[in-house]
Every structure is written in C-alpha cells, then in structure tokens.
C-alpha cells in the first residue's frame, strides 16, 4: 500500500529550506509519497489540513 504524508511548514517557526532535504532523505527510501504546504498567513495551517484529508 502506498503511504502518503502531507507536511505543513510554518516558516515563521524558524527552520526554512533545509528541512526539505531532510524530509526527502527520510521519505524517499521508505517509498513514501509526500508533499508540503507552506503557511503564509493566519488560518493557512487549518485550511491545508482540511484539504489534505479530503
């Protein structure tokens, strides 16, 4: 079964781009399909989470 993960990143929390390489290093060998959304304003994280589960 294909595993899917969606990551929501809040760039204001501190760690920007380098996390993308770390995520790829973890998920690629495990054959996990993954994607990201990056928040830009209040409410984005909740909206992205709702979209990811529908």
pLDDT tens for 6-51 read: 999 988 777 656 788 899 999 999 889 999 999 999 999 999 999 9
CA distance 31 to 7: 16
Count how many domains the chain has. Answer: 1
Q: Considering only CA atoms, which of 33, 45, 38 is closest in space to residue 5? A: 33
Domain residue limits at 32? 3-53
* The pLDDT of residue 15: 65
CATH number for 13: 3.40.50.10330
This prediction has a pTM of: 0.75
């Amino acid at each position: 079964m294909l595993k899917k993960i969606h990551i929501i990143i809040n760039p204001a929390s501190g760690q920007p781009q380098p996390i993308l390489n770390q995520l790829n290093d973890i998920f690629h060998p495990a054959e996990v399909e993954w994607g990201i959304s990056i928040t830009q304003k209040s409410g984005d994280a909740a909206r992205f989470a709702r979209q990811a589960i529908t």
